């Protein structure tokens, strides 16, 4: 009941109150000032500091645009650039949405081979010819690309200094595009080449032109190959505070400080269940959008309000929680069974703070 009342309060607040933006920097306050109980957050912080959830590096909570909790552990620091791993994919999705809105890319139904005229990939068949951007965005390309350990295509690509685009395009097909979900960083890395061919700008330059400056993000780093292609599947580094900025952008439907930065419809499509993950039995995930994970609603909430997540290896997460007007960021260096713990303590500890 308390959380149902909180939902109504949030909806009224978002409609009636002036939105707070981290311009130029975050407004800060106590959890209680924004309708949260600090006790569960303090208890979680102690667990993180003691290593109960692996090697945590940071925990940030934003509510109503106010940074109400910011803790760092071990090597974590407010000014440190941290690997995002596959959280980078959600940033890449934003760039594709912007590129489509600007007319740089025609749309999600564009065949990917249209961006490589004159190149005839190996193992070419009708299935490969029919791969479209939406298949890449939803991990359903049908390409024989997987990430299951040493020797996998992903492992080999990461060890390859050039030709990431042709490496992916040359892979054989195993399914018709759109038929089956298989986690596939290679297709997302290919989007770096697609952006470069469509706009003349590598993905890092594109972000530095059309995304990051508007968000107030000036400190970044990318892993690139020798050709200058950024690793758009997992090669971005940001500070935890700037990860929270990106989460707030999506919480507010692509708007930023009076302007529409990412198209609202793109955010909605990204947060729409393009793929049903329930048959895969991987709770708390229930679906997949445009390079965003869709997770179950808070069981103690009003119901029907999913949690959305950008997820990265070793424990990097941006959680967007519209039901409570919240963004939660975690970074970590866990190389074991703890790397996914944040998906569970989000519900048991962080959301427990909502009054």
Q: Tens of pLDDT along 216-228?
A: 999 999 999 999 9
Q: What is the pLDDT of residue 17?
A: 54
Name the percent of the chain in helix, strand, coil, to the closest 5: 40, 20, 45
pLDDT in tens, 310-349: 999 999 999 999 999 999 999 999 999 999 999 999 999 9
In a domain, residue 218? The reply is: no
Q: What is the CATH number of the domain that holds 129?
A: 3.40.710.10
Split at pLDDT 50, 70, 90, the class of 8 is very low
The partner residues of 328 in beta bridges, in order of sequence, read 61, 319
Query: Residue 299: inside a domain, yes or no?
Result: yes
Strand, helix or coil for residue 327: strand
330: alpha, beta or left? (left if phi > 0; alpha if psi -120 to 50): beta
**Domain match, 63 and 92 both:** no
Q: Which of 187, 204, 221 is the last residue of a domain?
A: 204
Domain boundary among 154, 177, 204: 204
Which of 155, 180, 204 is the C-terminal boundary of a domain? 204
Query: How many other β-carbons are positioned within 10 Å of the β-carbon of residue 146?
Result: 17
Residues pairing with 256 in the sheet: 259
User: If you average pLDDT over residues 119-133, what whole number do you get?
Assistant: 98
């Amino acid at each position: 009941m308390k959380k149902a009342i909180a939902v109504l309060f949030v909806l009224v607040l978002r409609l009636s109150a002036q939105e707070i933006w981290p311009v130029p920097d975050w407004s800060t306050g106590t959890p209680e000032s924004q309708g949260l109980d600090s006790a569960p957050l303090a208890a979680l912080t102690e667990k993180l500091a003691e290593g109960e959830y692996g090697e945590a590096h940071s925990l940030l909570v934003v509510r109503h645009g106010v940074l109400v909790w910011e803790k760092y552990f071990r090597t974590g620091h407010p000014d440190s650039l941290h690997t995002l791993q596959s959280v980078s994919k959600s940033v890449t999705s934003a760039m594709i949405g912007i590129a489509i809105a600007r007319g740089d890319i025609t749309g999600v139904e564009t065949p990917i081979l249209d961006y490589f005229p004159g190149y005839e990939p190996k193992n070419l068949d009708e299935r490969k010819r029919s791969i479209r951007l939406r298949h890449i965005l939803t991990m359903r390309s049908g390409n024989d690309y997987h990430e299951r350990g040493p020797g996998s295509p992903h492992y080999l690509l990461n060890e390859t200094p050039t030709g990431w685009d042709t490496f992916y395009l040359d892979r054989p097909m195993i399914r018709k595009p759109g038929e089956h979900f298989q986690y596939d960083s290679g297709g997302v890395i290919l989007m770096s080449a697609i952006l470069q061919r469509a706009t003349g700008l590598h993905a890092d330059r594109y972000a530095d032109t059309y995304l990051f400056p508007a968000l107030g993000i000036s400190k970044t780093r990318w892993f690139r190959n020798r050709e200058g292609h950024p690793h758009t599947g997992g090669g971005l580094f940001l500070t935890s505070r700037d990860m929270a900025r990106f989460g707030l952008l999506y919480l507010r439907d692509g708007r930023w400080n009076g302007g529409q930065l990412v198209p609202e419809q793109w955010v909605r499509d990204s947060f729409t269940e393009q793929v049903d993950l329930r048959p895969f039995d991987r709770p708390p995930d229930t679906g997949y959008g445009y390079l965003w994970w869709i997770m179950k609603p808070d069981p103690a909430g009003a119901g029907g309000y999913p949690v959305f997540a950008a997820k990265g290896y070793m424990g990097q997460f941006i959680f967007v929680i519209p039901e409570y007007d919240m963004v939660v960021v975690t970074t970590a260096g866990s190389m074991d069974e703890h790397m996914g713990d944040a998906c569970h303590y989000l519900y048991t500890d962080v959301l427990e703070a909502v009054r």
